[in-house]
């Protein structure tokens, strides 16, 4: 068992293309949504964005998506173009019952 397997995720997982994407959600689900999607230099988005979303969670529904290979999400080689990344993240949100617009 690797060290990565021993870590406890702070959010939940959605299966996309047979692999897990980690999504962290906080705040009132009835408030407007802010979806955080990280770039390539944000290794653990659920932690890296905490300073920002902790200041916003009283007024917004916060959703942090960790794309494949980042944070608690599975390491999985998939297309890295913008359309593919957005499609994967939308699929994850839909599987968790989040409704758009996003």
For the domain that residue 41 is a member of, what is the CATH number?
3.40.50.1820
Residue 85: inside a domain: yes
Q: What is the pLDDT of residues 62-90, one digit of tens each?
A: 999 999 999 999 998 878 888 999 999 99
What would the two tokens of residue 15 be? 């299966």
Residues 21-69 pLDDT 10s: 999 999 999 999 999 998 878 889 999 999 999 999 999 999 999 999 9
Helix ranges (DSSP H) in 1-102:
3-6, 45-48, 50-56, 82-95
Q: How many domains does the chain have?
A: 1
Establish if 101 belongs to a structural domain. Answer: no
Rounded Cα distance, 66 and 51, in Å: 16
Phi-psi region of 71 (alpha: psi -120 to 50; beta: other; left: phi over 0): left
């Amino acid at each position: 068992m690797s060290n990565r397997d021993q870590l406890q995720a702070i959010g939940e997982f959605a299966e996309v293309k047979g692999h897990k994407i980690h999504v962290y959600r906080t705040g009132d689900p009835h408030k407007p949504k802010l979806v955080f999607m990280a770039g390539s230099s944000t290794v653990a988005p659920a932690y890296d964005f905490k300073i920002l979303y902790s200041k916003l969670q009283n007024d917004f529904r916060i959703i942090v998506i960790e794309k494949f290979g980042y944070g608690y999400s599975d390491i999985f080689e998939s297309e890295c173009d913008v359309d593919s990344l957005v499609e994967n993240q939308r699929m994850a949100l839909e599987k968790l019952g989040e409704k758009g617009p996003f």
